[in-house]
Amino acid sequence: MTRDYGGVERRMADKNDIKIIVKESSIHGLGVFARQDIAAGETLERCAYIVIDDDDLQEVNRLNDYLFTSPDDPNDYLVVMGCGMLYNHASPPNAKWEVDETDNRFLRFYADCDIGAGEEIFHDYGEEYWTTRAED
């Protein structure tokens, strides 16, 4: 079944098409897990996002820990919808993200290697994430 959302046609996912689930993580809070085996390169999900900049943020803001730095402008940040903010960190990760090549209003999270059913899915937050949170 498909629906039209302001010119964007989206296929409604069958339960069997849903590859990920959110649940309690032994690493930190909630995490994203594979519901089924996922092959390297497969799309985990496509997440809409909004762009904000430093003017939208307070000095101390809990949301800061969940923002993605824009790949296009280091002064812009992406507020990612869907499960995008819930992937925990690991290095090396088993998933990565990119601006979707078919529609740049979405981020595409994809498996960087084969991921087994039940495994937690991680992406690398990047060095900037950690250096901006270093204690003085």
The CATH number linked to 118 is: 2.170.270.10
Residue ranges of the chain with per-residue pLDDT less than 70: 1-16, 58-61, 128-130, 132-136
The predicted pLDDT at position 136 comes to 42
Q: How far is CA 20 from the centre of its chain?
A: 12
Q: Considering its fold, how many domains does the chain have in total? A: 1
Q: How far is CA 80 from the centre of its chain?
A: 7
The predicted pLDDT at position 95 comes to 97
Residue 44 lies in a domain: yes
The predicted pLDDT at position 7 comes to 53
Residue 136 lies in a domain: no
What is the sign of the dihedral through the CA atoms of 26, 28, 29 and 35? negative
Residue 98 lies in a domain: yes
Residue 14 lies in a domain: yes
CA distance to 37, 50, 100, 134, per residue, from 31 (Å):
17, 22, 22, 23
The predicted pLDDT at position 134 comes to 56
Residue 107 lies in a domain: yes
* 11-20 CB contacts, 8 Å cutoff, 24+ apart: 19/44, 19/45, 20/44, 20/45, 20/83, 20/121
The predicted pLDDT at position 82 comes to 86
Residue 125 lies in a domain: yes
Range of the domain at 12: 2-131
Distance, first Cα to last Cα, the chain = 53
